[in-house]
Structure 1
Amino acid sequence: MNKDRDMNIVVLPGDGAGPEVSAEAVKCLELLSDHCGLDLRFETLDFGGAAIDTAGSPLPDSTLAACKGADAVLMGAVGGPRWDGRPEMPEAGLLKLRRALGLFANLRPARVIPGLEALSPLRADVAEGADVLVVRELTGGVYFGERTFSEEAASDLCVYSRAEIERIAHVAFQAARRRGRKVTSVDKANVMATSKLWRRTVVEVAEQYPGVALDHMYVDAAAMALVTNPRRFDVILTENMFGDILSDELSVIGGSIGLLGSASVGETGPGLFEPIHGSAIDIAGLDIANPSGAIASAAMMLEHLGLADMGHILGEALRKTLLAGCRTADLGGSARCSEFGETVREYLRRRLVHYDVHLELVTMNRGCCA
């Protein structure tokens, strides 16, 4: 498993519970790196509100430069009420980082883990088998549009180009080829001009993927279907704000927003990997946050770096930890954040013993056949 060079990972713990959950994910990655010779190297830098406190900016120039030069970026969470009203809020650093790295595609997978259907707020027969990937356009739309604000009126401009829609649509259709071969494009084409262009462009891109089915839903109908029949979805393709809202709704179907990781990727350069939950300022420092989303994000990062087998091993250890009943407070358990992380690493250690045996057998067989 030795690489030709070190892989440099910038860690941005951020604010609130972000440092706690990201620390558990990094410990898992360090264990895999040390045991399997992955040559992962970590650099931890302030980001978000923490960087405002130390450097006066949520994304200092030195941090941005380090991220641009990294192989991947692993983030905790940003934001909190203590920075409200600042000229530049912590979330502005995240938007700037996404734009600077060209991260136009946000991938948010959510599934109900077999055996954990009881954790879902939905009836078990509704939640069972749900496995959805939200592909969210990340650098366009209303979040990046021109804004005006006064005491009497305000506006937020939503803009999408055909090229922006085409490139995110290709990501969704390519992902569907590896999954259930179905894309549901979510828009509001009965009202919004950007959604009319969105739908027309997605239909054109779909012609290049004859083996993938395409259907369309208005965003309000999709929101309802996610909680009444989540199994109807495979890949959801949608714009920035709709994707933000729908993926948070989808996250609780598995039991907690704390379970889910995400990847933000572009055409080139490093990807950004982060749990989809917020900074949870109210529980910061109490060692009770759920690190599952951060660990799941780390597994996605490994896959993105070409280490899919390592990502699978880490994801498997996370699932076994949950199935064994080690759960944090958001899942009705009593495990500490650090305790949960250590249990994941214990499963990793056991799995890596079998992995070593497998590699030895493969090497012996290759020698016999040489």
Structure 2
Amino acid sequence: MKKYKVVLLSGDGIGPEISEISSEILKKLSHKYSFDIEIKEEYFGGIAYEKYKDPAPKATLDQCKSSDAVLLACVGDLKYDSLPRELRPESGLLKLRSALNLFANIRPVKIRKSLLDASSLKKEIIEDVDLVVVRELISGIYFGQPRGQITNTKVKKAFNTMVYDTKEIERITEVAIKIANQRSKKICSVDKSNVLEVSQLWRDTVLDVASKNKDLSLSNMYVDNAAMQLVKDPSQFDVILTSNLFGDILSDLAAMITGSIGMLPSASLSNSGPGVFEPVHGSAPDIAGKNLANPIAMALSTSMMLKIGLNEEKAADDIEIAIDNVLSKGYRTSDLDNGDCNVLSCSEIGEKIIQEI
């Protein structure tokens, strides 16, 4: 029997609610497909700060490093915003990504036919959307040095540094090429090379790497135009390759094409070692503990973990099929309520998914 160790980081806000459902999904699938899965919960985010004064404790990071995969729900709360930046839950995320060398963030954006009417965009604009955002995750402006605030001047100042080297750009480009070759062999690289020197290096390096793949179609687009095109004609995209900052913004924008950010999963990967699989949404502290959260993005992240992290493709497919079946029967959480569906709680939707499996 195959055995896997998964570290579960439930985090903050709605995290424990959606994590419980994914844990039950994994337990059912492990019995169905005869593999043994050890789910080890660890403190991470605001809850870890409360207990250890550190959003990413060493013990948690060590467990993550020794696992087969990490399943992360969400972190953050307004009550932590007054903390020094290095102690905030979001800084724990950066620390986790750096510790596991998770340089590639993969965010698929696929329209589910039963949710065509949930999007704020017209049905005919979104019905053929099936794209992947490939975002560089551990370099760029979020990690660049120097950074800080200057307070000993008459007018306060703050500064951040956006830095990339060619090797960092090359490796994320190779990931995008690999994904594109499994799809339609089409990449749109997004930058701001008309203004930023670092984006010019990005564009030049991507072109150099992609030119070695003769079957590949590469286009370039400025980030402001890419944002506009995602709203105007999202189906034109297949694989979007971009930097840390631009990927953060564009992937959230793309998520809303589906009707709710509560629908989108992601995978953060390195060249070796465990990946981190997490929904793209935040911790939604305003609805935490109210059983209102949408658990589907977390469940789809669990599917990505099974497929990419554990090579359990049949089990992963079962989650996707179960979710589509639940949605096609008209069951929704409140974020997807169109006035003509059966609105259920977080736990009730979870039960429906598990029953379908």
TM-score (norm 1): 0.92
CA drift at 1:188? 0.2
**Pair 1:103 & 2:102 matched:** yes
**Equivalenced residues, count:** 345
Deviation string 1:276-325 (CA, Å, 9 cap, x unpaired) is 00000000000110001000000000011111121111111112111211
Counterpart of 1:363 in structure 2 is none
> Is structure 2 residue 286 aligned with structure 1 residue 282?
yes
Is 2:244 aligned against 1:240? Answer: yes
Paired residue type of 1:148? G
Corresponding residue number in structure 2 for 1:150: 150
Could you tell me which amino acid in structure 1 is paired with residue 274 of structure 2?
P
After the TM superposition, which segments of 4 or more aligned residues of structure 1 sit over 3 Å from their partners? none
CA contact (8 A) 2:108 2:265 kept: yes
Could you list the per-position Cα deviations for residues 81-119 of structure 1 after superposition, in whole angstroms to 9, with x for gaps in the alignment?
111121210111110000000100000001111232111
1:205 CA displacement: 0.9
Contact (CA 8 Å) 2:194, 2:200: kept in 1 or not? Answer: yes
SS at match of 2:203: helix
Q: What's the TM-score, normalizing by structure 2?
A: 0.95
Aligned ranges 1:245-284 → 2 under 5 Å:
245-284=249-288
CA apart distance, 1:62:
0.7
Pick from 213, 216, 220 the counterpart of residue 220 of structure 2: 216
Q: Where does residue 337 of structure 1 map in the other structure?
A: 346
Deviates more, 1:152-161 or 1:84-93: 84-93
1:57 equivalenced with 2:57 (yes/no) = no
How many angstroms does 1:229 deviate by? 0.3
The Cα shift of 1:8 comes to: 0.1
Give the superposition deviation at 1:144: 0.5
State the partner residue of 1:9. Answer: 6
Q: What one-letter code is carried by the residue in structure 1 that aligns with 2:328?
A: L
1:184 matches 2:181: no
Write the letter of the residue equivalent to 1:342: E
Instruction: Give yes or no for the alignment of 1:323 onto 2:328.
Output: yes
Equivalents in 1 of 2:73, 2:41: separation in Å? 11
Task: Measure, in 2, the Cα distance between the counterparts of 1:346 and 1:115.
Answer: 19
Taking only the aligned residue pairs, the percentage that are identical comes to: 46
Separation in 2, partners of 1:240, 1:47:
22
CA offsets 1:235-254 (integer angstroms, 9 cap, x no match): 00000010000000000111
The answer as to 2:124 corresponding to 1:119 is no
2:271 aligned counterpart, secondary structure? coil
1:346 maps to a residue whose letter is Q
Other-structure match for 1:140: 139
Bigger CA drift: 163-172 or 306-315? 306-315
Instruction: Decide whether the 8 Å contact of 1:109 with 1:132 is kept in 2.
Output: yes
Tell me which amino acid in the other structure corresponds to 1:124.
K
Aligned to 2:9, the other structure's residue is in SS state strand
The residue identity in structure 1 corresponding to 2:316 is G
| CA deviations over 1:322-350 (Å, ceiling 9, x no partner) | 121111010015211000011001110xx
Q: Equivalent residue for 2:204?
A: 200
Residue of structure 1 aligned with 2:35, choices 22, 38, 46: 38
| 1:63-78 aligned within 5 A | 63-78=60-75
One-letter identity of the residue aligned with 1:149 = Q
CA distance in 2 between partners of 1:268 and 1:115 (Å): 37
Q: Would the aligned equivalents of 2:173 and 2:241 in 1 still touch at CA under 8 Å? A: yes
Q: Do 2:148 and 2:160's aligned partners in 1 also have CA atoms closer than 8 Å? A: yes
Gaps of 5+ in 2: none
The RMSD of aligned alpha carbons is: 0.9
Distance 2:209 2:353 in 1: 41
Matched, 1:27 2:27: no
Structure 1 gap segments, 5+ residues each = 349-370
8 A contact 2:45–2:92 mirrored in 1 = yes
2:80 corresponds to which residue? 83
